[in-house]
Amino acid sequence: MANTNTGVNTDVNTDTDAHAHPNAPAAPAAALLSPVPDDDGAPFWEYTAQGELRVQACTQCDALRFPPRPCCPHCQSFDSEWRRMSGRGRIWSYVFPHPPLLPGYAELAPYNAIVVELAEAPHIRLVGNLVTSPDAALNSVDPAKLRIGAPVKVAFHNTDEGTTVPRWLLERP
């Protein structure tokens, strides 16, 4: 929510200059945010720490649901399990955030944030980042490579704070 009082046209970015900063440090000085799990979400992060992408499923009616919640919106059962996904999906949409941003993200801007729809359940979509390798920076992929519908596969990145977040690699880089 920027203010047009601050003037315009002085800081024009195009898609082509929006890719990897050649001098971007591998590990930015300011930390990125770590997930703050709630009770319902905690298992998701426990599984990512084991390198598994799992989604909550109702054991009564079999419906997958995300984000996780205490009971099934279809059959109201409180019984659920965490079902392993193939880790394959397609890009549903994406943005390239530019400043003003929190410091750790501003250092990497413009970077990509994407929404991936899972191959098994297209209505289940995960927000993430498209990267060139699991530990690469959020701005490591050339923006020109991003397109809606592009097939992607999951990878797991261990953060400095000790959590593991899913990231996404292009199936055909």
Partner 1 sequence: MKDATAIVGIGQTPFAKRLPESEKALACRAILRALDDAGIAPSEVDAFASYTMEETDEVEVAKSIGAGDVTFFSKVGYGGGGSCATVAHLAAAVATGQATVGVAWRSRKRGSGARPWKNTSVQLPTPAQWTRPFGLLRPADEIGMLARRYMHEYGATRDHLFNVALACRNRANQNPAAMMYERPLTREMYMTARWISDPLCLFDNCLETDGALACVIVSADRARDCRQKPVYVHAAAQGLPAQHHGMVNYWNDDPLTGPAWTAAQHLWKTADLCPQDVDVAQIYDAFTPLIPLSLEGYGFCERGEGAAFTEGGALEIGGRLPLNTSGGGLSEAYVHGFNLINEGVKQLRGTSTAQVPDASTCLVTAGEGVPTSALLLRS
Which residues would be at the binding site for partner 1 (CB under 8 A)?
1-5, 8-13, 15, 18, 32-38, 41, 45, 66-67, 73, 92-98, 100-102, 105, 108, 110-111, 113, 115, 123-129, 138, 148, 159, 165
Is the peptide bond prior to 110 cis by the omega test (within 30 degrees of 0)?
yes
User: Strand, helix or coil at 70?
Assistant: coil
Least CB distance to partner 1 at residue 168 (A): 10
Nearest to 88 by CA among 144, 46, 150, 142: 150
Nearest to 94 by CA among 18, 36, 161, 160: 18
Least CB distance to partner 1 at residue 50 (A): 18
Phi-psi region of 59 (alpha: psi -120 to 50; beta: other; left: phi over 0): alpha
In this structure, which amino acid lies at residue 159?
Answer: T
**103 contacts: CB under 8 Å, gap ≥ 6:** 30
